[in-house]
Amino acid sequence: MASDSSASVMLGLGSYAPELRLTNEELCQRIDTSDEWIVSRTGIRERRIASKDETTSDLALAAARNALADGGIAPEEIDLVVVATITPDMAFPSTACRLQHKLGLGNVCCFDLEAACSGFVYALDVADGLLQSGRYHKALVVGAEKLSSIIDWEDRSTCVLFGDGAGAIVLGLNGKGPRLEGFLCGADGANPSLLCQPAGGAEKPASKDTLRQREHFLKMNGREIFKNAVRVMEYAGRTLLDRHSLTPEDIAHVIPHQANARIVESLSQRLSVPIEKFYCNLERYGNTSAASIPLALDEARRAGLFKPNELGLLVAFGAGLTWASALIRF
């Protein structure tokens, strides 16, 4: 596929993970589980946990500063901020507005986007479209989550899976860097209860009953999510390749949503892309939802894994259910 001269360019990339590491062994002291059980079913060995005083916007701020520094970009050059998150500092105002203030940006366009674990790729797609419109020039796109704030630490089926973190990309239409060459985003809202936070919204406002029933914590049907995740990620990846007349052999790197090692292994088989081409760091971070892809992308880039002109595939699924994929020319 020929390079698109109008494609958005990744001008800066950065990430941040809290200092505190919560290992499987430490979790075993809280709940009835074992390191072997967690690793064999998820591939996760530890996850990062934000401090009580760290907010999602604080995590986003650290990642954003790293992305700006990486690209040599001054904050005043940013005129669009999109934050993908399911754990905003508060329902409103948006975490993007709080990030704008903390970064010292001007009165620029800021909003949050919620597509759960697909959120960062959704946000890239939206920011790219707004840049292509000509109304904006440089976009700060952030995926940030403090999932520890909505995890039920008494539920061993979910508390072992998730961690906190953030990743950020500065996008522009001019400059040198990896180019975003295509997107696919989709959703199927037929079964929202498969992965959700039942209470706290307009459907089920906070009450003594919702608190007593622990409905403000994340709930997940793990078996059904596994089956749907593999199916929709295969669809998102394969369909995007087909639309651009590409084959799995054209892909040098896959950065998947870091949910579960077995999901990634199944996806590798279904896409016919060798597992060696998949970059995974979930054993050290767990599932960080919207932060997982930019965290992995930044880590792989800093490790020097990407060569010029190689093609990368981002692919994700999330609550909704949502799915998303993107092509990157390094």
Catalytic residues: 117, 257, 287
For residue 318, list its beta bridge partners: 322
Judging by DSSP bridges, how do beta strands 109-113 and 80-84 pair with one another?
parallel
Q: Which of 244, 246, 253 is nearest to 307 (CA)?
A: 253
The whole-angstrom separation of Cα 146 and Cα 134 is: 33
Indicate the helix (H) or strand (E) that contains 16. Answer: strand 9-16
The whole-angstrom separation of Cα 18 and Cα 163 is: 9
**CA atoms 47, 53, 55, 60: torsion sign:** negative
Tokens of 227: 């089956």
215 to each of 25, 117, 193, 304, how far by Cα in Å? Answer: 27, 20, 12, 43
Alpha helices in the chain (DSSP H): 24-28, 35-42, 56-71, 95-103, 119-132, 156-159, 208-212, 222-243, 261-271, 282-285, 292-302
Q: Which of 32, 27, 30 is nearest to 45 (CA)?
A: 27
Judging by DSSP bridges, how do beta strands 253-256 and 311-318 pair with one another?
parallel
